[in-house]
Amino acid sequence: MKVAISTDGNFVSAHFGRCPSYTIVEIDGNNLLSKKVIANPGHQPGFLPQYLKEQGVNCIIAGGMGPRAQELFNSAGISVVLGVSGSIDDVIKQFLDGTLKGGESLCNHGEGHGMGKGECDHHEDRQYVYNGENSMSNTQTISSKKICITSQGDNLDSEVDMRFGRCQYFIIVDPETMEFEAIKNPNLNATGGAGIQSAQLIASKGVKAVLTGDVGPNASRVFEAGGIRVISGSSGLVREVIEKYKKGVLK
């Protein structure tokens, strides 16, 4: 089989139609036969499904994709695995091992929009597991109004971490209930790509806004593709920043 992976540098792109390139891998069982990178030929409505079908592709892996595009790929007999992030090589290895996990589309277009069009929204956080066939199983559905704050510690009384990609912790919080989850940043000591990997991690959590000190251009592209608002220049205690966010005083 042939698999097409949306690609941005060495990482999975958050948006399938708007990614700079595609990594095409040919697989026989658990063996990787070939791997090549092709430039994105364009994402006019209905073009990519037919184009990739002609290339012999039977599976798509991406961070996000609109519902109309998913329908077109399914109609062309091409399975779609969304919510995937990380390096291309790691994703290929997971696919070969049968352990690849996806999630909610990182760029969830509103219903009725064409491929590559419309506004993005993230009203739910779903997790899917690729089962090695042409389908995914829905394992979790959680309503979400969550935001993310970069933090130096694992609680709401910690100081905001001014760095995004290499912050100490990500605090995922529902500002209405103040229930939160502290995630130790796995990319803190990454040799490269910390911004993109951290952005893809946070986008996969279904947050609608990120509050931090500063965000680099690579991470910003991921958030822009996912329709996630970024509020930079935040400082002080995490709890105080959340209250300012709730009052609408952060710009």
- pLDDT (0 to 100) of residue 85: 86
Same domain, residue pair 126 and 152 = no
Same domain, residue pair 16 and 92 = yes
- pLDDT (0 to 100) of residue 9: 87
Which residue spans within the chain are E strands per DSSP? 2-8, 11-12, 21-28, 31-39, 59-61, 79-81, 101-103, 124-130, 136-143, 147-151, 169-173, 180-184, 209-211, 229-231
Among 109, 142, 175, identify where a domain stops.
Answer: 142
Q: How far, in Å, CA of 58 to CA of 152, rounded?
A: 44
For residue 225, give the amino acid letter. A
Quote the domain boundaries for residue 163. 147-247
- Look up residue 184 and give its two tokens: 């130790």
- How does DSSP classify residue 48? H
List of the chain residues with pLDDT < 70: 43-45, 106-144, 225
Would the pTM count as exceeding 0.75? no
Q: Cβ(167)–Cβ(161) under 8 Å?
A: yes
- pLDDT (0 to 100) of residue 238: 96
Mean pLDDT of the chain: 80
- Look up residue 223 and give its two tokens: 């958030």
Among the listed residues 186, 193, 237, the one whose alpha carbon sits nearest the alpha carbon of residue 219: 193
- pLDDT (0 to 100) of residue 48: 84
- pLDDT (0 to 100) of residue 106: 64
CATH at residue 237 = 3.30.420.130
Among 108, 142, 176, identify where a domain stops.
Answer: 142
- pLDDT (0 to 100) of residue 133: 38
| Number of domains observed in the structure of the chain | 2
- pLDDT (0 to 100) of residue 119: 36
Q: Cβ(250)–Cβ(144) under 8 Å?
A: no
Same domain, residue pair 98 and 11 = yes
Give how far the C-alpha of residue 250 lies from the chain's centroid of Cα atoms, to the nearest Å.
25
Q: How far, in Å, CA of 89 to CA of 54, rounded?
A: 24
Among the listed residues 107, 26, 97, 9, the one whose alpha carbon sits nearest the alpha carbon of residue 62: 107
- How does DSSP classify residue 120? B
Same domain, residue pair 82 and 40 = yes
Q: Cβ(73)–Cβ(80) under 8 Å?
A: yes
Same domain, residue pair 100 and 200 = no
Category of 72 on φ-ψ map: left (φ > 0), alpha (ψ -120 to 50) or beta: alpha
- How does DSSP classify residue 249? -
- pLDDT (0 to 100) of residue 75: 82
- pLDDT (0 to 100) of residue 43: 62
Among 142, 170, 187, identify where a domain stops.
Answer: 142
